[in-house]
Amino acid sequence: MSGPLLRLVVLFGGVSAEHDVSCVTAAHVLAAADRAKYDLVPIGIAKDGTWLRNDKAIAALVEGGDLPDSLEPAGTVVDPLAVIRGDGQPNPTVVLPLLHGPHGEDGTIQGLLELFGVPYVGSGVLGSALCMDKAAAKIVAQQAGIPQCRWVEFRDGIDDSETVVARAVEQLGLPVFVKPANMGSSVGITKAHDAAELDRAIDIALRYDDVVVIEEAVVGREIEVAVLGTTSPETSVPGEILPGSDFYDYEDKYVTGAARLVIPAGIPDAATVEVQELAARAFAALRCSGLARVDFFYEEEGRGWLLNEVNTIPGFTPGSMYPKMWEATGLPYADLIDRLVTLALETHRRRAGFATDH
């Protein structure tokens, strides 16, 4: 590749409960990215919010060495604004945020990048914030006519827990799933089988957010679709999750590895087309851009497809569903990274052309 290398700043770690997941994701992305195309700059955000340039990882990348399975936010303390603006750097910069959960996936880092005019991979401020907040996402999906499971919202300091528990039991039945609205990787999720468990589950979810989503327990298959693009998004072949435990929780995803991933999912062709169309509709309705993993429940003998959630910074290790679905569709891991960087530059150029005055 002729000309200057593109400076690709990989942000990982962060201050959310999904810090460790992000560190694993970053190690795999850096290992797979084409070092002949990119000047790779791994920037870890420690749990206290300090930004650090991982000099050991940079040395390994330059020398062609191996990276660990998980990258620690360690090394030289750096100025966040200088890093993302590329102060003193001759090469153009694109930022790849791999910050799962709050303060990374929720529009906060995207807003910072927008303020300083830096191209970045993934959804913008609104799309990121909408998808991160499960309650807000459900309201928008409902308005867009996208089918989803029944749910009840609880807002701390506003709603009475006893009243909400009674309403949830009456409207949703039991058991139910209780989730913090702004969290991912199944952190803070509890399956409640009675009113007492539901009350305790709300308290657990409130450790992570002041808005809680209570959902009916759907008996159906868990099917996911990877989406890639902007105004005319592409969809992957669907994949199916077969949980190794009662539901697809954090341990199942990242510790025991007991869940089975089936790609492509064994569903009829007509059902595949339908879920791909629904995934693209959800992507557009929630103002997504770049990438998203759209998760569904499939009630084969009941309501059919029900939207579960949309994840704008999905797990991105080679063993994660998002890249595996694209690989099965014909787009290998390293090429997927290239596509995402290209989309980031295209989106930035399009937005930069909008008028800012009258």
Catalytic residues: 18, 185, 254, 293, 295, 309, 311, 315
Give the rounded distance of the alpha carbon of 257 from its chain centre. Answer: 19
3-state helix, strand, coil in the chain (%, to 5): 35, 25, 40
Q: How far apart are the first and last CA of the chain?
A: 41
Closest CA to 126 of 111, 139, 146, 143: 111
**Could you give the 3-state DSSP secondary structure of residue 343?**
helix
Tokens coding 326: 């694209």
Q: How far apart are CA 246 and CA 189, in angstroms?
A: 12
Tokens coding 145: 């006519």
Cβ contacts of residue 93 below 8 Å, gap of 6+?
A: 6, 7, 8, 9, 84, 85, 86, 118, 119
CB-based contact 95:11 (threshold 8 Å): yes
CB-based contact 14:100 (threshold 8 Å): yes
Give the rounded distance of the alpha carbon of 343 from its chain centre. Answer: 17
Please name every residue paired with 294 in a beta bridge, in sequence order, or none if there are none: 225, 310
Q: How far apart are CA 344 and CA 331, in angstroms?
A: 18
Tokens coding 113: 């990048």
DSSP annotation of 220:
S
Q: Whose structure tokens read 């989503």?
A: 213
Tokens coding 90: 């001759």
DSSP annotation of 103:
T
